[in-house]
Amino acid sequence: MKKILVIRLGAIGDVILTSAPLLNLKLSFPKAEISLLTRGYLTGLAGMFSGVDNLLPFPAKASALDLFRMGEYLDKQNFDMVVDLHGNIRSLYLTKHISAGIKVRYDKRWFERYQAVKFKKINNSAPHTIDLYNTAVQRAGGKVFARRPIINLPFNRPRQLNFDRAKKTIVIAPGASYPTKQWPKKKFAELAVEIYKGLDCNIVLVLTQSDADFANLTAGIPPEDKCLFLDANLEKLAAVFSESDLIVCNDSAMAHLGSAVGTPVAAIFGPTHPTLGFAPRGIKDIVIQTDEKCRPCSKHGKKQCFR
């Protein structure tokens, strides 16, 4: 085995989860050159995954012509194996276009997930997405060593936080891919203030422009004990999370990023559910949820709540 291509185009959290099967492939085939095809904006983050030798950027808004050209390019690279960890129409086309001797695709558990969403059939022992990825690795002839996401930060990286290290540092990240997946900002702000008062700790706010007003809701936390990161890139956030003691977030990419750097995560799940396979996978991670009969509302939490 000389050349292996792994395909996972997005989204952020899903790509972070591929860090485990990528490491497993490298440990199983140490002499192979492993390439990862993913969205261009994720290559900086993916560059910190163990086992990846080459990063192949895929356009965020690829046209049919872009897809064809990428297929032509990939076919000329003489890959021996293609591991499709996405399973959508683009990755299926690319996999079919490439002349590789071994081709495997991960099982998305489509029917089980459909039953969970449509009929609320909850399987508390359902396999995690990483386990499904690793099953594809096994079908390709590899072995499973890593079962959690892992990011390797540069050893000599500059410190991102200038807080008093004698205090604990708690990250509050109220964002999510869809508004329906976000616990109310006001509740998050109240929680941040309560945590600060109860633990006498440092508070880090991870925000985007869409929730920049959140900082004003935490006026009860003195400036010297509070730090704001607005629209920070994923590489910087990975370093920030590694210097922290706890990440409090929604069901979002931030949960997987925290797990990948080894920081405990408390993830709030609303319309989604761990049975779908996307819960944070760290040793000390927890999911905060209520057993509403209508959950999960949808696979990715995009649909509006009917209640």
Please state which of the ranges 100-104, 239-243, 279-283, 289-293 shows the lowest mean pLDDT.
Answer: 289-293
Give the confidence band of 307 by pLDDT, cuts at 50, 70, 90. low
* Separation CA 35–CA 18 (nearest Å): 12
Residue 264 has pLDDT above 90, yes or no: yes
Task: Calculate the dihedral angle through the C-alpha atoms of 211, 40, 96, 98, rounding to the nearest 10 degrees.
Answer: -170
* Separation CA 23–CA 27 (nearest Å): 6
Ordered domains of the chain (ranges, CATH): 3-139 (3.40.50.2000), 169-288 (3.40.50.2000)
Cut 0.85: pTM above it: yes
pLDDT digits (tens, 9 = 90+) for 5-15: 999 999 999 99
| Beta strand spans in the chain (E) | 3-7, 33-39, 54-58, 81-84, 102-105, 169-173, 202-207, 226-230, 246-250, 265-268, 286-288
Residue 61 has pLDDT above 80, yes or no: yes
Looking at residue 216, what is its pLDDT? 87
What are the backbone angles phi and psi of residue 2, rounded to the nearest 5°? -110, -40
Looking at residue 302, what is its pLDDT? 85
* Separation CA 120–CA 228 (nearest Å): 39
Give 243's DSSP letter: T
Looking at residue 140, what is its pLDDT? 97
Please give the average per-residue pLDDT across 136-157, as a whole number. 96
